[in-house]
Amino acid sequence: VVMILEKLCYIRETARDAILMIAKLSVAENEKWSNNATGQFGQLFHIFLPGTVLPLKERTEVLGELINFGDNYRDVVLTAINHSFTNNHFSRSGGPECFGSEKIIDYVPSDSAIYDYWSSVSSILINWCEEVPDVIEGASQIIQNHINSFIANGNIICVKTLIEKLIAIQNN
């Protein structure tokens, strides 16, 4: 099933729904292999080689939808947010992008689209932490995972804002 959904992520008209279905499979999953639904789901939120044609802005909207699905989706959404801030060592095996002799190219964002994406995902994370304080621990781990990348990319303002807002939420 995951392999079929991976293919659907390369068709503009079905990509969003395929991502939501992979998320549902991820919630039900009981394995930790990276080639399972959860591993594939996380990759779909990478800035490069995401395995989808869906633009970053629309993937951000999917995150908001998944948060509204409730607590069962917490780990899956945190996984997606963690992957959204990844900015190096991208790789994936080929296959789902091939349709006969046609090979679909993954979505490739501009630099400004990437910074807008990171800003939007940061806002989603902050708002989520305000609504569900239990998410703060996962959000803190994500910042720890990516702080060097934020700084190396000159995105200090984003990480500074994230840290300050999470501290304020935690202190309230």
- What's the pLDDT at 98? 61
Spatial separation of the C-alpha atoms in residues 130 and 165, rounded to whole Å: 9
Q: What is the Cβ-side half-sphere exposure of residue 69, based on CA atoms within 13 angstroms?
A: 17
At 34 the pLDDT is 61
Residue 79: predicted pLDDT = 95
Average the pLDDT over 72-78 and give the result.
96
Least confident span in 35-39, 65-69, 142-146, 164-168: 35-39
When pLDDT is averaged across residues 45-56 and rounded to a whole number, the result is 94
Query: What pLDDT was estimated at residue 92?
Result: 64
The torsion angle over the Cα atoms of residues 93, 152, 127 and 115, rounded to 10 degrees, is -70
pLDDT category of residue 105 using cuts at 50, 70 and 90: confident
pTM above 0.75, yes or no: yes
Residue 103 has pLDDT above 80, yes or no: no
Angstrom CA distances, 63 to 83, 102, 117, stand at 12, 30, 12
pLDDT of residue 8 exceeding 70, the answer is: yes
Over residues 51-77, mean pLDDT: 95
pLDDT exceeds cutoff 80 at 169? yes
pLDDT surpasses 70 at 166? yes
